[in-house]
Structures are given as C-alpha cells and as structure tokens.
Amino acid sequence: WFAAPHAAVLYILFRHPQHFGGAAARVAAVFDIGVVAYFVLPTAPPWWAGNTGALPHVRRIMTEAGERFWGRHWKRLYDSLSGNQLAAMPSLHFATSVMAAHVLSDVGRGPGAVGWAYAAALGFALVYLGEHYVADLLAGLALAEGVRIAAPAATPVARAIARFVRSREPAY
C-alpha cells in the first residue's frame, strides 16, 4: 500500500522532473507528520479492537483472505506486514495516497485520475478490511489537505533551513 505514493513520486521524477522536489517534499511531509501523530496520540485500528473483544463483530479480513490466497507462504508474509496496533489515526495509507493523487493531478489529468481512483479504492478497502475506521481516513484526508494548503508558505522556510544546514556542513 505504501508503494503507490513512492511510485507516484518516481513517475514525476522521470516524466516531470521539474515537479519532483515539491511532490517528494509534500508526500514526505504527510508521512512524517502522520508518524509524529502516532507517537502523540496512539490509536488502535478496528482489527485490534476486534482481537481484544472490544468490537467482536470486526474481523481482519485481510488475514483470512491472505491465508487462502498465499497458502503456506502467508505466515512469513503476514509477519512482515502485520501492522501496528498503535498507528491507526490518521491513516497514512490513505493520507499518502491522497497526496499522491494531488501531486499526480498537478502534472496531468490522466495521472491524476489514476491517483484519485487508487485513493478511492484504497479508502474503501481500508474500511472494509478492518484496517481503519472512517474517522482515520478523514483524519488522513485532513492531513494531506493541510500539507497541500501549507506547502506554499512552508516552502521558503524549508529552503532557508536547508541552506542553513548546508552552510554548516564541513567542506571535503
């Protein structure tokens, strides 16, 4: 799921390199701010609430389908992708995909349509599969939109910080 934002930024790097810096910075900002939110306010996803009995009707459908589809390979794959029981809000899956859709829309209608279709399908899947609540997706959407709106004002500050850091680097 995290491959889509990276693929979007790689597409921009190779097809529209003049947009790469801003696109990469916005996708990274969404991810970084979301990770900080996990530490400040850890929240459990629906599948965790289902596992603990707090929401007994919620199942993690991904595990059931994964076992049937991957067979004996599922345990190893699942262990590497098992999820974080304290990282539900905001949904970084959704937030980074929304930002990917935005940066793809910045370079063309076709790429943007692909990005938005993916974000919409992912949003549905995240809720259906028990990975996130709708509120987690709304928080992810708000995060992506906040970064998009703040980017023009933050860009000069980020560039000034980068210049300052570069000026302090030792010359080799």
Q: Are residues 160 and 133 in the same domain?
A: yes
Distance of CA 83 to the CA centre of its chain: 13
Looking at residue 47, its pLDDT comes to 86
Looking at residue 58, its pLDDT comes to 86
* Mean of the per-residue pLDDT values of the chain: 92
The model's pTM: 0.88
Looking at residue 135, its pLDDT comes to 96
Mean pLDDT of 149-156: 95
Q: Quote the domain boundaries for residue 114.
A: 3-43+86-167
Quote the CA–CA distance of 136 and 130 in Å, as a whole number: 11
Q: Are residues 104 and 147 in the same domain?
A: yes
Q: In this structure, how many other beta carbons lie within 10 angstroms of the beta carbon of residue 143?
A: 25
Q: How many domains does the chain have?
A: 2
